Amino acid sequence: MKILLTGASGQLGRCIQDRLPEGWQIEALGSAQLDIGNKAQVDEIVQAYKPDAIINAGAYTAVDKAESEPEAAARVNTLGPENLALAARDVGARLIHVSTDYVFDGQGTTPYLETATTNPLGVYGKTKLDGERAVLAALPEAAVVRTAWVFSEYGSNFVKTMVNLAEKRDALGIVSDQRGCPTYAGDLANAIISLLQVQAEGGIYHYGGDREVSWFEFADEIFDVAVAAGRLAKKPTLSAVTTEQYPTPAKRPAYSVLSGEKIKALGVALSDWDSALKEIIVKF
Ligand SMILES: NC(=O)c1ccc[n+]([C@@H]2O[C@H](COP(=O)([O-])OP(=O)(O)OC[C@H]3O[C@@H](n4cnc5c(N)ncnc54)[C@H](OP(=O)(O)O)[C@@H]3O)[C@@H](O)[C@H]2O)c1
């Protein structure tokens, strides 16, 4: 299997490279080598490498900044995936594209199915939703994997932010009225590899953690794990704050639990994020 990986320096990109099955070849390109928003460059690289599958781990992920940079976000999150889908179609490659729980408005009260109505609250979610649609319109055989609350030993994420803050402060206020499922990027990488191995049919798949929490509960667990592992000397005092008390440029869904039933039916396990958290807490 020849894989072309885009966004190779991000959390997911790094985790995919760490887990590539034996015998698979990979061309792993960061944004400096392949800008997915550049159609001519995408075409040239895909035609030259002729991959069996393209995995798009590249995205404009600055959710708040996207509100003031909608064109830049759309270029990477909508035009980029479309460029990849068209190029994949030309060489007969599969495409696995990654999307987000932020395509939903968070008004749901039960885990979102792949067929649930979308209604993004901000620019990031809107550009990602447009990207999903562009991919599936150009290449219905593509798999679009929506995930949420991604963390890993790499890049920036909530786990690292919490540990870094706790090194500087004794007390922290954490949002307690947004619920979702943390997802370890390494588990997501394995799930994507599995989708290629089982030759999953085209369409949308939800993939996330096997247990839901609020950001407050997640932070609480991060600190317990960090103290137990000797990563932090002591746990900071936590207080619950509401979304209203912690305004951000982009609105976020209050409830973004994704149902993993469809992908589980293919034999793919959801992210055991508790175990992953214990493993990665000492790796950064
Ligand atoms: N992180 C989350 O909590 C979360 C939640 C839901 C869904 N997702 C989705 O999961 C996927 C992986 O996210 P992640 O957490 O691994 O993101 P990440 O760590 O922010 O990595 C994204 C990567 O995309 C690259 N990139 C930016 N512009 C690009 C371009 N024009 N061409 C090619 N690559 C470009 C970035 O490269 P540079 O660093 O060089 O700019 C970066 O390495 C994304 O599709 C994201 O939307 C993430």
Q: Convert the pLDDT of each residue in 226-260 to its tens digit.
A: 999 999 999 999 999 999 998 899 999 999 999 99
Q: Which atom of ligand 1 is nearest to the CA of 32?
A: 40
- Class in CATH terms, 2-156+183-212+256-272: alpha beta
CB of residue 256 inside a 6 A radius of ligand 1: no
> Which pLDDT band holds residue 56 (cuts at 50, 70, 90)?
very high
The Å distance, Cα 100 to ligand 1 centre, comes to 11
Q: Note whether 214 and 254 are within 8 A (CB).
A: no
Residue nearest to atom 2 of ligand 1 (CA): 150
Which letter does DSSP use for residue 152 in this model? Answer: -
Six-digit token string for 22 = 């034996």
Closest Cα to atom 21 of ligand 1: 10
Q: Which residues pair with 209 in a beta bridge?
A: 271
Whose CA is closest to 177, among 123, 246, 100? 246
Catalytic residues: 124
Q: What's the pLDDT score for residue 42?
A: 98
Q: What percentage of the chain carries pLDDT values higher than 70?
A: 100
Ligand 1 pocket, residue 59 CB under 6 Å: yes
Q: Is 208 in the pocket of ligand 1 (CB under 6 A)?
A: no
Residue 181 CA, ligand 1 centroid: distance in Å: 18
b/e per residue 48-80 (b: at least 16 CB within 10 A)? ebebebbbbbbbbbebeebbeeeebbbbbbbbb
Binding site membership of 98 for ligand 1 (Cβ less than 6 Å): yes
Contacts for 177 with CB less than 8 Å, ≥ 6 apart: 214, 242, 243, 254
- Please report which confidence band the pLDDT of residue 81 belongs to, taking 50, 70 and 90 as the band edges: very high
Q: Ligand 1: distance of its center to the CA of 185 in Å?
A: 11
Question: pLDDT tens digits, residue range 179-232?
Answer: 999 999 999 999 999 999 999 999 999 999 999 999 999 999 999 999 999 999
pLDDT at position 129 is 98
**Unique residue bearing structure tokens 């460059």:** 41
List the chain domain ranges. Answer: 2-156+183-212+256-272
State the distance from the centre of ligand 1 to the C-alpha of 170, rounded, in angstroms: 31
130 Cβ below 6 A of ligand 1? no
**Residues 130-178: pLDDT tens digits?**
999 999 999 999 999 999 999 999 999 999 999 999 999 999 999 999 9
53 — pLDDT class (breaks 50, 70, 90): very high
